[in-house]
Amino acid sequence: MADALSAAFAAMADPTRRDMVARLADGDAGVTELAAHYEMSLQAVSKHLRVLEDAGLVSRTREAQRRPVHLEVEVLDLMTGWIERYRRRAEERFARLDAVLDELKQPDAPARTRTRRAGGPR
Amino acid sequence: MSTSRTDTTTITVEPDMPAVRLQRDFDAPPALVFRAWADPGLVVRWLGPRDLEMEVERWDCRTGGAYRYVHRRGDDEFWFHGSFHEAREGERIVQTFTWEGAPDSVALETRPSPTSATAARGWRASRSRRRTPTATR
């Protein structure tokens, strides 16, 4: 699972590939169809798609001839889920800061402070 | 005084720089946000993961000051330290951040970040954390 995430983030580190993912979010598209949006050879576009495919972000259906590129949304969800965990942790921290600030805003009630200090090594 | 401000933290990852921007609005005057950040007795009440006990060894939030604290869970200890490069009351805090378990890495934290505007009602205390690439051995 962790490796899938690394491959997905690495694949998404390229702006062209992010743009491709954004386009594929609207629906499946053929390679030539996609290539029309970029100033690069069909070969270069295919190379980008291969990286996305290896990372599990897109798949190519086995439909004869056309073989449209399909976005694998679950892998995207995996990525946003990973980020969301850290966002939530930060939000929890800031919500606690909200509570401290609310106390500081009360003119009569000085905020409770903890005075314990660490006596650790060094 | 009651505002709905839960769950509003956003995280932005800059594509061309190893930087992460956390943005969060606080419904409080800048001087109070600064105080909650500068007073170690207040800091231990909100900083760090909730499931860890935090103890401050040193917290000198002045320009040229430094800090060191520990997060504990059972017998596990996670020490952090850094310096306050700049601390201007109610205005700006710039500090370095190192987890002592990876002493070769240092992050630069700026709050609010230079690009964020100060919100009319409170301090848009965003924090930019910039990591130096760790040298490969």
Tens-place pLDDT, residues B15-29: 666 677 788 888 888
CB-based burial label for B93 (10 Å; 0-12, 13-18, 19+)? buried
- Residue A101 tokens, joined: 């600030």
| pTM of the entire predicted model | 0.68
- For Cα atoms B46, B11, B133, give the angle at the middle one, nearest 5 degrees: 95
Judge contact between B126 and B111, C-beta under 8 A: yes
CB contact under 8 A, A113 and B47: no
Interface residue A10 vs chain B (CB under 8 A): no
In this predicted structure, what is the pLDDT of residue A35?
Answer: 95
CB contact under 8 A, A87 and B10: yes
Residue type (1 letter), B15: P
Share of chain A above pLDDT 70, in %: 84
In this predicted structure, what is the pLDDT of residue A71?
Answer: 95
User: Measuring CA to CA, which residue among B35, B108, B65 is closest to residue A113?
Assistant: B35
Tens-place pLDDT, residues B78-125: 999 999 999 999 888 999 999 999 998 888 888 876 544 443 333 444
Mean pLDDT for chain A overall:
86
How many whole angstroms separate alpha carbon B88 and alpha carbon B94?
Answer: 9
In this predicted structure, what is the pLDDT of residue B59?
Answer: 98
| pLDDT band at residue A120 using 50, 70 and 90 as cut-offs | very low
Q: How far is CA B69 from the centre of its chain?
A: 13
End-to-end C-alpha distance for chain A, whole angstroms: 39
| pLDDT band at residue A114 using 50, 70 and 90 as cut-offs | low
In this predicted structure, what is the pLDDT of residue B120?
Answer: 33
In this predicted structure, what is the pLDDT of residue B5?
Answer: 59
Neighboring chain B residues of A111 at a CB cutoff of 8 Å: 42
Tens-place pLDDT, residues B55-88: 999 999 999 999 999 999 999 999 999 999 999 9
CB contact under 8 A, B57 and A101: no
Residue of B6, B36, B55 lying closest to A100 (CB–CB): B36
Q: Look at residue A104 and tell me whether its pLDDT is greater than 80.
A: yes
Residue type (1 letter), A24: L
